[in-house]
Structures are given as structure tokens and as C-alpha cells.
Amino acid sequence: MSTPVTTLDAILYPPIEPFETGQLKVSDLHTLNYEVSGNKDGKPVVFLHGGPGGGVSEKDRRYFDPKVYKIVLFDQRGAGKSTPSASIEENTTWDLVADIEKLREHLKIDKWVVFGGSWSHPDRVKALILRGIFTLRRSELDFFYQNGASHIFPEHWDDYLAPIPESERDDMMKAYYNRLTSENDEIRTTAAKAWSTWEMATSKLRVDAADIARAANDDWALYASPLPSRSVVHRRLYHSAFARIEAHYFINAGFMREGQLLERQSIDKMYVPHYIVPKMGILIFLQAAISQQLSYKASVYIPQVRRLLTLPSPDTGRYDVVCPARTAYDLKKAFPELELTMVPDAGHSARELPTCKLLVEAADKFRDL
């Protein structure tokens, strides 16, 4: 009988250090921080972090076999160690897409595996490993930030409400955005902590006190170590990047039309080899058509809500409140080839054991691509 896996370290590849680090100026304002690790002559893979605004951490290298992959990590505009920190100027979805191409060209990479989301041109993507299917429709945003998850985590919702006067609570995202863009450092920091704490409190099947404590710390932004060398002002700005950039994208609907990511032309772009494994809840197996009419088994791990969705499967999955289950259902309708199979014991975080295991397995599948 095999021993159950009980730690992330038992699932992830061993820790490694980058063999290259650098900064890439992508506009007159923005400079991206990036790193490359693993096999210098290996198969290129680029890791795209969440948020937007979350930044990367050293653990993100460990989803990939370092003997096989040339692993590229970078902080998107305003996130992590990219500068200027927490900037929302010249920071849109389409700026991020262009940045990824600039980084690929800078590193002289022809094609790569994209891990995280479809943020590159299809003719430069060998395969997709997507996590956290979230289409930024107003209904999805409202479920988490206005009226939905509030009914499941009421005690943490009260903490999220606290910084906002009752007169502004009819649009919580707007109220938080106004504070996260305030000239007052204390107002910004208070709002950033409350926003981040709400997300950390609801991101796992079981509430993780350590995550909540980290969100309440000025140094939090990257799931990274404290930054003792930085000034208090810089650390607070660093902390606020996650909340500030998220709010900026969300009040602007991701700079996309409502439902754009579920339109036919968007779905058609998914027809490259892809193994979509994300934030939590629904595992979708599909036969994806490739060039020359070849096909292969891929899977899409899609966010699920904290409720039971009945499907013809031996498993019953649930518990992502950050990304509503409606997204998975609507993706299924737009992409009928998907077969949904629920995965048990998973919330939203990529660091939960069932999800982490699936992500590593997804990357392993493409080692021979």
C-alpha cells in the first residue's frame, strides 16, 4: 500500500536556484523582473502568475522537471520585483500579452509551453497548462466581491466590509479601488490588507491561519520572504501591489468585452496541445485537435464553487468560492468536447495538495512534446 502524500515538498520537484536573472524594459515606464532556471538547453516553459498582481515565488520553479525544462518566471507589470511597484499606469491585459512576447524574443526562445494562461500568440505556443479559469464577467466578480461567497464565510466577510462605510457598500470593488489608489499611505495599506486577507481566508478548502497572517503583513505580495532591506514605505507599496492591481483590472473588466473569453474566436485559440489544470474544483478531460488531425488526452482543471455540482462521475468535487462554478458550466457549453469530472477536497489555491499534484503531472505530460 502506498503512503499518502501529505506535504507539498513531496509533490513538487526539489528547490533550485536560477542560473540567470535580469530586468527587461518593456515600456518607458515599466521594467519586468525575470529569471531562468532548470536546464539551459531544455524545453522552454513560461510560468504566468495569478492575480493579476500576485508575482512569482521560488516554489513556482518546482512544478517542472529541472532536468527537462528551461523554466522562465517573471513578475508582470507592477507586481513582485518589477518596477514601478504597484503601478496601474500602462497596465492592461493587452500590455501583459505584449510583454510576454517581448520576453520570449529577449530570451531568443522560438516556442514554449505556457503554464498559467493563454497569454501569447498561438503560433509561439507549443502547449498550454492553464489554471484558474476565470473570465472576468461581472457575475463572477460580484459573486466573490459583492454577494455570494459572503454567505459562506460571513465572519471573514465582516472583516472585508470593515474599512468601507455602509454608504459605499453597494459597489465594494469600486470602494476598494478608491482607497487602493488613495494618496494617503495608511488608507492604501489598510485597504490592501483587508482585500488580501479576504482572498486568503477563502482560497482553500480549510481556512489557513498562516495565509491570513501573511496577508495582514506589510511584506506580503509574492508568497515570498520578508524584505528587511526595504524601507517601510517601499514595503507597504510592495504589499499593496496584489490588491491594487487586482482592483484595477476588476473595475475595468479585464479590459475586455463582457464574456469575451467565452466567445467562439477565443475558444478556437485553445486548439493547441493543452492540459488545463487550475485553481480548483472541476477536472475536465478533453480530446483536443492538433495540427495534422492528431489528437491527445488533455485536461482542464477548472474552478468550482463551494457547493456540490452533480455530474456523471465517481468523484464529487467542490469548494472554490473565488471562481464561481458557473464559469466551468459556461465553458463546457462553449467547448462541448470537455468532459467534466469533479475532483474532491480542493478549494481555490494552487498550493493545495490535490491541485499541486495535478499541476506537476500536467507539466510532466509535456516533457516529451
> Could you please report the per-residue DSSP string of 275-311?
-B--SSEEEEEEEEE-GGG-EEEEEEEEE--SS----
**Average pLDDT, rounded, for the chain:** 79
* Residue 345 pLDDT: 82
CA 303, 309, 313, 315: dihedral to nearest 10 degrees?
A: 70
% the chain with pLDDT above 70 = 75
Asked if residue 14 has pLDDT above 70, the reply is yes
Higher-scoring residue by pLDDT: 3, 219: 3
pLDDT reading at 126 higher than 70: yes
pLDDT above 60 (res 299)? no
Residue 229 — left, alpha, or beta (φ > 0 → left; ψ -120 to 50 → alpha)? alpha
pTM: 0.83
Confidence at residue 165, expressed as pLDDT on a 0 to 100 scale: 98
For the stretch 324-359, pLDDT in tens is 767 777 877 887 766 554 557 888 888 888 888 888
Lowest mean pLDDT of 51-65, 231-245, 327-341, name the range. Answer: 231-245
Nearest to 301 by CA among 350, 336, 240: 350
Query: Lowest mean pLDDT: which of 153-167, 216-230, 275-289, 340-354?
Result: 275-289
CB distance 154 to 148 below 8 Å: no
Preceding omega of 84 cis (within 30 degrees of 0): yes
Predicted pLDDT at 183 = 93
The DSSP letter of residue 47 is E
How many Cβ atoms from other residues are within 10 Å of residue 309's Cβ?
A: 17
* Closest-CA residue to 130 (of 145, 140, 120): 120
**Pairwise CA distance, residues 305 & 199, whole Å:** 14
Q: Is 309 a residue whose pLDDT tops 50? A: no
Q: What average pLDDT does the segment 190-200 reach?
A: 94
Residue 273 pLDDT: 54
The pLDDT assigned to 32 comes to 98
Amino acid at 124: R
Task: Show the CA angle centred on residue 210, arms to residues 207 and 212, nearest 5°.
Answer: 65
Q: Cell for 343?
A: 475532483
Torsion of CA 307, 59, 369, 134, to 10 degrees: 30
Which one, of 193, 127, 141, 135, lies nearest residue 162 by Cα? 193
pLDDT digits 0-9 by tens, 146-166: 999 999 999 999 999 999 999
pLDDT tier, 270 (very low <50, low <70, confident <90, very high otherwise): low
Inform me whether the pLDDT recorded for 129 exceeds 60.
yes
What average pLDDT does the segment 72-99 reach?
A: 95
| Alpha helices (runs of H) in 154-231, residue ranges in sequence order | 154-161, 172-180, 185-202, 209-215
Instruction: List active site positions.
Output: 118, 320, 348
From the list 146, 167, 47, 185, the residue with the least C-alpha distance to 103 is: 47
Residue 37 cell numbers, joined? 532556471
| Mean pLDDT, residues 60-81 | 97
pLDDT higher than threshold 90 for residue 300: no
Rounded Cα distance between 61 and 158, Å, is 36
